[in-house]
Structure 1
Amino acid sequence: MVKIGISVSYLVWLASLLLPLPGLAQSSSVVDQLTQQFSQQIEAELTQWQQLTGIEIVSKQIQPRVPTGARSLTPCPTEITIESSSGMPFGNLQRRAQCIEEGWSLFIRAKVTVTAKLPVAARALKRGEIIGQQDIVFQSQVLSGNDRQIIGQVSELLGRQVKRQIRRHRVIQVNQLTAPMWVNLGDKVIIEARSNGFYANMPGEALESGGEGQGIRVKNLSSGKVIIAYPVAKGRVATIF
């Protein structure tokens, strides 16, 4: 009987070692809850970003980092509220998480590594150059939190003028480009006039420099009148009567 009692006690003791302590089980639940919800939120933000930009995500890795203080928190009985952000959903992220019911809040972090297929410069592009199809190739690039203004579509690059030098095989940012200056001060231009199916063109002289969509003063050399016209191509402006 003594041997049986000892055996039973040993089994109970051994089983107790295999089971987590109540406090640790609770702590693990909080950490898991935060990790799971934050990962799901980042996944949703990446999907939305991809849909809005049209950029193809080749691969992604989400590594949530929950502070050790979360181990002492009481698990939230409902979904934890995690703030959203207007920034890019990749790079080093930090968000505030809170459980209203239990009255606690903390900051959680995540390292999100995203590789995307992007149009990049096929060669070094100098200031003043106009980007053509031959200047663009596609490559997989690892994005960082600083890539807030990347251009992901070739259509947004063609015909644009380089404002700041673009290095070969680097992602292209919006602030590196500008609308091309189709017309410069003093240029001889062709003025195109359109109205209800009527079309005419006449020689003119640019009194201002301008790019696509910019209204500039142009002198009609046929009539001598100064009009407002809009550059539509190199050496050509349009006006509507």
Structure 2
Amino acid sequence: MKTLFMNGKAFSLTLFLSIGLLPLNVQAKGQIAATDQISQQMTSALTAEISQWQQSQQIKKISKKISLQVPSNAGKFKACSTKLAIDSAKGLPFGRVQRKVSCTSEGWSLYVRAKVALSAYIPVANKTLDRDDIVTAENLQWKMLPLTASDQDIITDDKHILGQAVARKIRKNKPIRTQNLSIPLLVNIGDQVIIEAVSNTFYANMIGIAMDAGKKGEAIRVKNSSSGKIITAYPIAKGRVETRF
């Protein structure tokens, strides 16, 4: 037992503690404060959301920074004896996000905001591509770029970009979005095309003139140059169409 001296008089430290005259640690040894509990579990939840998003987008490499804004009144709550309930994600897990955090055992809930800065390693154009350009491997490079909440429709896998036609101008070193691309036309109106007729027992081809423009698999009208007959055919490659029986 320790002894304190005040005004020349000795007092027991045990007495001061028992009557509450000295400050005590409000958290029992080993018990986490509610604010810390919220911060830790919210960070874990956002990290899991980001990881799930990364897998769904097939992104090989990302970097992230999570900054939480836990309300000041959280310090008045008692720490939860069970795992906190955190609302599931709505929208992208980066940018400015908000989640409802609840503790069933203690009967409290609050909204926690966070700023999630995320960069991802994604394919971008190495030069500006104009409308109707076809994207090739020579046009692409990979860069680590910061993403924002407006980047929910970006394309993160080059296999969904290569061979596509540019529908809207693609700027150098900017994320490529789905609306930037379209399936390219394989046949234009007036093109001379090879008409292929294939079955299990025979193969034949002839020359025709396309009367419609068409993308892969679209039905178009083609005039047989020999017979003058107009048939329905389907583009299968540049300058080639097939009939279907």
Q: TM-score, normalised by structure 1?
A: 0.85
Measure the CA separation in 2 of the matches of 1:128 and 1:197.
Answer: 39
**Structure 1 counterpart of 2:163:** 159
Structure 1 9/138 Cα, relative in aligned 2: closer, same or farther at 3 Å?
Answer: same
Retained in 1: the 8 A contact 2:49–2:89?
A: no
**Structure 2 counterpart of 1:127:** 131
**Structure 2 counterpart of 1:95:** 99
Q: Which has the higher helix share?
A: 1
Unmatched segments (≥5 aa) in structure 1: none
Give 3-state SS (helix, strand or coil) of 2:33's partner: helix
Shift of 1:6: 3.3
Measure the CA separation in 1 of the matches of 2:136 and 2:226.
Answer: 35
Task: Tell me the matched-pair count.
Answer: 237
Structure 1 33/187 Cα, relative in aligned 2: closer, same or farther at 3 Å?
Answer: same
Unmatched segments (≥5 aa) in structure 2: none
Measure the CA separation in 2 of the matches of 1:11 and 1:61.
Answer: 48
Shift of 1:11: 11
Alignment counterpart, residue 20 of structure 1, candidates 4, 25, 38: 25
Residue 86 (structure 2) pairs with residue 82 (structure 1) = yes
Retained in 2: the 8 A contact 1:57–1:114?
A: no
Shift of 1:97: 2.1
Residue 238 (structure 2) pairs with residue 234 (structure 1) = yes
Retained in 2: the 8 A contact 1:97–1:108?
A: yes
Q: TM-score, normalised by structure 2?
A: 0.83
Q: Give CA-to-partner distance per residue, 1:171-229, whole Å, 9 cap, x none.
A: 11111111111222232222223323743322222222221232223233334443332
Shift of 1:102: 3.6
Alignment counterpart, residue 118 of structure 2, candidates 103, 114, 118: 114
Q: For the pair shown, which has the larger CA radius of gyration, 1 or 2? A: 2
Measure the CA separation in 2 of the matches of 1:234 and 1:58.
Answer: 38
Q: Which amino acid is 2:136 matched to?
A: G
Shift of 1:12: 5.8
Identity of aligned residues (%): 42
Structure 1 85/199 Cα, relative in aligned 2: closer, same or farther at 3 Å?
Answer: farther
Q: Which moved more, 1:107-116 or 1:196-205?
A: 196-205
Retained in 2: the 8 A contact 1:218–1:229?
A: yes
